């Protein structure tokens, strides 16, 4: 047989990444809802878009698994945190979460190299590049928030600007 199905080990690892992307989407959705309730409409818009982007990442993985003869599994998810301390705290969590996602993507890439699965390795390069951009964006947002400090006027302008800031997805 010429067509090689996705290895079981790879399929399982990719499905774990599906779950992480789905959980990320829910996590950012919870952040967006909290920010909106607090009156940060621009930040909420940004986080809603970021949540949608993570769902797209999940869908890309599911379709890839299915295209390779596996089964992309839709995961059950735990309810994410619903209350947050501050906008600064939210974006610190965003950065830490994106670093976690990058770590998991890198583990997948490493596994593909060990298994000599160059097709999946190539597919994952999009995620590697996406994570570089997502971490960079989170760091830049945190830098701005630290500059603003407790300045309410600065936070007002930051919130307004965040509403139009594009998330990093490159479909």
Q: For 71, phi and psi rounded to 5 degrees?
A: -135, 110
Q: What average pLDDT does the segment 89-93 reach?
A: 97
Confidence at residue 171, expressed as pLDDT on a 0 to 100 scale: 43
pLDDT(167) > 70: no
- Number of H helices and E strands in the chain, helices first, is 5, 0
The structural architecture, per CATH, of the domain 8-162 is Up-down Bundle (1.20)
Confidence at residue 164, expressed as pLDDT on a 0 to 100 scale: 87
pLDDT(36) > 80: yes
pLDDT in tens, 44-81: 999 999 999 999 999 999 999 999 999 999 999 999 99
To the question of whether residue 54 is assigned a binding role by annotation, the answer is: yes
Q: What are the structural domain ranges in the chain? A: 8-162
pLDDT(121) > 90: yes
H or E element in which residue 150 lies: none
- Cα–Cα distance for residue pair 9/11, rounded to 1 Å: 5
pLDDT(165) > 90: no
Structure token digits, residue 62 = 């599911």
Give CA 58 to chain center in angstroms: 9
Percent of the chain with pLDDT over 70: 95
Average pLDDT, the chain: 94
To the question of whether residue 131 is assigned a binding role by annotation, the answer is: yes
Confidence of residue 145 (pLDDT cuts 50, 70, 90): very high
pLDDT(169) > 90: no
To the question of whether residue 133 is assigned a binding role by annotation, the answer is: no
- Cα–Cα distance for residue pair 147/171, rounded to 1 Å: 32
Q: What average pLDDT does the segment 129-133 reach?
A: 96
Confidence at residue 3, expressed as pLDDT on a 0 to 100 scale: 58
pLDDT(128) > 70: yes
To the question of whether residue 93 is assigned a binding role by annotation, the answer is: no
- Cα–Cα distance for residue pair 58/169, rounded to 1 Å: 13
To the question of whether residue 19 is assigned a binding role by annotation, the answer is: no
Confidence of residue 1 (pLDDT cuts 50, 70, 90): very low
């Amino acid at each position: 047989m010429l067509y090689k199905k996705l290895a079981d080990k790879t399929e399982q690892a990719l499905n774990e990444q599906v779950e992480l992307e789905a959980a990320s989407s829910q996590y950012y959705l919870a952040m967006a809802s909290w920010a909106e309730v607090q009156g940060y409409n621009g930040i909420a818009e940004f986080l809603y878009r970021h949540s949608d982007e993570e769902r797209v990442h999940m869908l890309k993985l599911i379709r890839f698994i299915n295209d390779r003869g596996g089964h992309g599994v839709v995961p059950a998810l735990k309810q994410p945190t619903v209350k947050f301390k501050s906008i600064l705290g939210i974006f610190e969590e965003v950065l830490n979460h994106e670093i976690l996602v990058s770590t998991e993507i890198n583990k997948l890439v490493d596994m593909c190299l060990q298994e000599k699965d160059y097709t999946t390795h190539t597919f994952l390069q999009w995620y590697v590049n996406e994570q570089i951009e997502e971490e960079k964006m989170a760091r830049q947002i945190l830098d701005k928030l630290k500059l603003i400090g407790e300045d309410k006027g600065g936070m007002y302008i930051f919130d307004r600007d965040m509403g139009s800031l594009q998330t990093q997805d490159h479909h």
